A and B are shown apart, each in its own frame.
Chain A
Amino acid sequence: MAPSRFVVEQGHLLAFGRAIGAPPPGRAGLAALDPPAPVPPTFVAASALHDPEHLRGLRSTGPLAAPPDGGSLLHAEQHFEYLAPIRVGDVLEVERTDGRRWEKKSRHGGRLRFREVITDYRFPNGALSVRSRMILVETPPAEGMP
């Protein structure tokens, strides 16, 4: 798929920080330091908000789209590699590629379908900042992982 653009905005970071219980940044804001403070380690996972195709029609799209057979889509694993910190004001290019796919039998005899999604976050000069590897699993109803 075509890369999307991820502008690291102070308001978005504030909302993310609030949701994870981070201490408030103070009146001067997140950009007050020179250089600005790095974003939290998992913040890039919020880049979907900047994908113009995401949630079009109020349905999840891309890797988080609901399975067609009515089961659940669960996030089994997440891995990040960090090469350079991301700060308020950075503009990143986000490129997603599909990785491996495999299947396992669940404890209840159902079929679990795993797939890997690799996402690269690059600065405008092409330098890689963060590589994300997400492992998703499609399960029959209520075979429970988060």
Chain B
Amino acid sequence: MILPRIGDQRRAVVCPEVTRTQIVQFAGATGDLSPLHVDEPAAVELGYPSVMAHGMLTMAVTGSLLTEWWGDDRLTAFGARFLAPVWPGDELTAVAVVTAVRGTRPGSCVDLQLTTTNQSGVVVLTGTATVRMVEPVGG
């Protein structure tokens, strides 16, 4: 088993371009049809420049970095704060950094700090995750 070390990190473009179609797909798949996400005139009426992506869409694509790194059944906790809106046209890049390794045997835990930014470097999501330690996917 390869032990992760504090400071180990993965970075990936988790969404090359958020599109209105993707936002509508996500709304349909989750049942979150808030006008802020699917009704452009209503979003503009509320003072926003356009519809915005769901925070949960940003969290879901950020989660794909975790499952690609650690596998899809190792998470024990995953949390996120949605700090800034994500708009159609944005590119999202996620970074996960190991902040703690608790124990050295399988079943021990690795804590991660998560940050997702848009193409301008604006942080749109910060979060944390904990995974049960097994060999990371791809070593």
Does any Cβ of A come within 8 Å of B135's Cβ? no
Q: Given A42-B60, A82-B77, decide whether A77 and B34 contact each other with a Cβ distance below 8 A.
A: no
Q: Given A45-B56, A85-B73, decide whether A40 and B63 contact each other with a Cβ distance below 8 A.
A: yes
Contact indicator B28/A38 (Cβ below 8 Å):
no
Which residue on A lies nearest to B125, using beta carbons? Answer: A146
Which residue on B lies nearest to A18, using beta carbons? Answer: B25
Contacts of A48 in B (CB 8 A): 30-32
Does any Cβ of B come within 8 Å of A57's Cβ? no
Does any Cβ of B come within 8 Å of A32's Cβ? no
Contact indicator B79/A79 (Cβ below 8 Å):
yes
Counting contact residues on chain A (CB < 8 A from B), the size range is 35 or more
**Proximity bits, B28-43, A CB within 8 Å = 1, else 0:** 1111111110000000
Q: Looking at the complex, which one of B55, B73, B124 makes contact with A75 (CB distance below 8 Å)?
A: B55
Contacts of A41 in B (CB 8 A): 60, 63, 66-67, 72, 75, 78
Which residue on A lies nearest to B22, using beta carbons? Answer: A19
Contacts of A73 in B (CB 8 A): 34
Contact indicator B29/A146 (Cβ below 8 Å):
no
Does any Cβ of B come within 8 Å of A114's Cβ? no
Contact indicator B77/A19 (Cβ below 8 Å):
no
Which residue on A lies nearest to B79, using beta carbons? Answer: A79
Contacts of B77 in A (CB 8 A): 79-82
Contact indicator A42/B56 (Cβ below 8 Å):
yes
Which residue on B lies nearest to A70, using beta carbons? Answer: B46
- Name the segment of A88-96, A99-107, A119-127, A137-145 touching the other chain: A137-145
Contact indicator A55/B31 (Cβ below 8 Å):
yes
Does any Cβ of B come within 8 Å of A24's Cβ? no
Which residue on A lies nearest to B61, using beta carbons? Answer: A20
Give complex CA distance A141, B15 in Å: 28
Contacts of A40 in B (CB 8 A): 60, 63-64, 67, 72
Give complex CA distance A38, B78 in Å: 15
Chain A residues with a Cβ under 8 A of chain B: 12, 15-16, 18-22, 37-38, 40-42, 45-46, 48-49, 51, 54-55, 60, 64, 66, 72-83, 85, 141-142, 144-146
